[in-house]
Amino acid sequence: MRFDLSHLQAMLLFALMISIAFGFLSRRRPMDRVKYTVWSLLLFLLFGIGIGWAMYPFSR
Amino acid sequence: MADQTQIAAIPAPDAKREARAIAFGVAGWLVPGLGHALQRMWGRALTFFAVVGVLVFVGAGMRGNLFNSDGGDAFAALGYLADLGTGSFYWLAKYIEVGGPDVSHAYGDYGTRFLAAAGVLNLLAALHAYEAARGRKA
Task: State pLDDT tens for residues B72-87.
Answer: 788 889 999 999 999 9
B107 part of a folded domain: yes
In a domain? residue B20: yes
Specify if B102 maps to a domain: yes
Mean pLDDT by 10 residues, chain B (138 residues): 53 79 95 95 96 95 87 87 94 85 82 95 96 83
Tally of domains in chain B:
1
Check CB contact of B19 with chain A, cutoff 8 Å. no
Contact A21 B113 (CB under 8 A): no
Mean pLDDT (chain B, rounded): 87
Domain contains B27 = yes
**Alpha helices (runs of H) in B2-136, residue ranges in sequence order:** 2-9, 15-30, 34-37, 42-61, 74-84, 89-96, 106-134
Q: Is residue B97 part of a domain?
A: yes
Domain that holds residue B107: 15-134
Q: How far is A40 from chain B (nearest CA, A)?
A: 15
The reply to whether B4 falls in a domain is no
Average pLDDT over residues A12-16: 96
- Rounded Cα gap, residues A3 and B111, in angstroms: 9
